Amino acid sequence: MDVIGAKSVRTRRIGILPLPGFALMSYAALTEPMRAANLLARRDLYQMINLSATTGPVQSSGAGQVATQGRVGGVSNLDYLFVIAGGDPTGYADRAVINWLATMARKGVILGGVSGGPIVLARAGLMAGRRMTVHWEHAAALSEISPHLMLERSLYVIDRDRVTCAGGTAPMDLMHALITQHHGAVFARLVSDWFMHTEIRPSAGPQRAGLVERVGTTVPAILDVVEAMEANVAEPLDLSRLASVAGLSARQLNRLFRDKLGRSTMTYYRELRLEKAQSLLRNSPLSLTEIALATGFASSSHFSRAYAAQFGQPPSAYR
């Protein structure tokens, strides 16, 4: 995690690929938190580059257009690349764009999809074995076209090197989670407050109250940590990273979890990941190895042992 005010803070290069007919709301909710982060930090934490498959500005679904600074295939060294799509993305078939997305994935760029953008990533074959979400308007069509995908009805899903978001105002919640990962919860809260976005919604639910009900406490530090856990299931954060999210020491965080939730921080995290694995066993055709990787376990044998210890039977017996 970069520390604001330290010389070690680096600038992350963010590619934004709005496809013709994209929603301005989704675009603004994704990009404005990064602009505000730069403003509040008084340095470029995020360098945003609008991209297009053609020359000239990209027309949104309304009256607005977005000017572009680069062409598909002509920009490299990106940390993230977000595709924003509206209209009917199930029919999107620009082979040059799809091939470029696959190339960027091979280079290790974190790929994101917003609103209908996750469908474009799925059509490029880039969502296999990854949990994902999409705008509810497109969910049924995507399930029919690609029933093998791990589709969730969530605001956003961060699964290793893929980030998908339902669009609308949900990118603001996604960016709160990413800025928290990059620069800590205190700074992320400053950015959200800039937009009077005071009710931060977790990835798995529509509002903060849902998180309070699931966790069973209103302690802000615990809620911040659980929100970070839910956003990092496939690649679990270690205790020191979770403690930094809460602004506490590892010992203080463990004491808080034991006092309020009756178990240690990492025990709670493991149980959360196993519950997600159980949902995948129930709702997806993925193999045990694929489910193990999607929920942050090093191997299927490690996953099976942890699952049996938690639920009293191996995952194979549950399925």
Fold assignment, 12-173: Rossmann fold (3.40.50)
Q: What is the pLDDT of residue 96?
A: 92
Fold assignment, 207-319: Arc Repressor Mutant, subunit A (1.10.10)
Closest CA to 293 of 311, 277, 309, 314: 277
C-alpha span between 147 and 112 (Å, rounded): 20
Pinpoint the alpha helices (H) of 46-109. 95-106
C-alpha span between 2 and 180 (Å, rounded): 10
Q: Which residue has the higher pLDDT, 137 or 81?
A: 81
Residues making up the chain, counted from first to last = 319
Strand, coil or helix: 56: coil
Q: Dihedral through CA 154, CA 291, CA 126, CA 204, nearest 10?
A: 10
What is the helix (H) or strand (E) element at residue 265, kind and residue range?
helix 265-283
Residue 208 clears pLDDT 70, i.e. is over it: no
Express each pLDDT in 25-77 by its tens digit.
999 999 999 999 999 999 999 999 999 988 889 898 988 999 999 899 888 89
Residue 206 clears pLDDT 50, i.e. is over it: no
Q: Average pLDDT in the 156-177 region?
A: 94
CB 282 within 8 A of CB 276: no
Express each pLDDT in 144-165 by its tens digit.
678 788 888 889 999 999 999 9
Q: What is the pLDDT of residue 283?
A: 63
Say what percent of the chain tops pLDDT 90: 62
CB 73 within 8 A of CB 98: no
Q: Average pLDDT in the 170-175 region?
A: 96
Strand, coil or helix: 82: strand
How many whole angstroms from its chain centre is CA 244? 19
Q: What is the DSSP letter of 236?
A: P
Provide the pLDDT confidence category of residue 7 given band limits of 50, 70 and 90: low
Q: What type of residue is 212?
A: V
Residue 207 clears pLDDT 50, i.e. is over it: no
Instruction: Indicate the domain borders of the chain.
Output: 12-173, 207-319
Provide the pLDDT confidence category of residue 210 given band limits of 50, 70 and 90: low
Provide the pLDDT confidence category of residue 8 given band limits of 50, 70 and 90: low
Express each pLDDT in 239-277 by its tens digit.
999 999 999 999 999 999 999 999 999 999 999 999 988
pTM of structure = 0.74
Residue 95 clears pLDDT 60, i.e. is over it: yes
Rounded-to-5 percentages of helix, strand, coil across the chain: 50, 15, 35
Q: What is the pLDDT of residue 238?
A: 95
Q: Average pLDDT in the 279-296 region?
A: 83
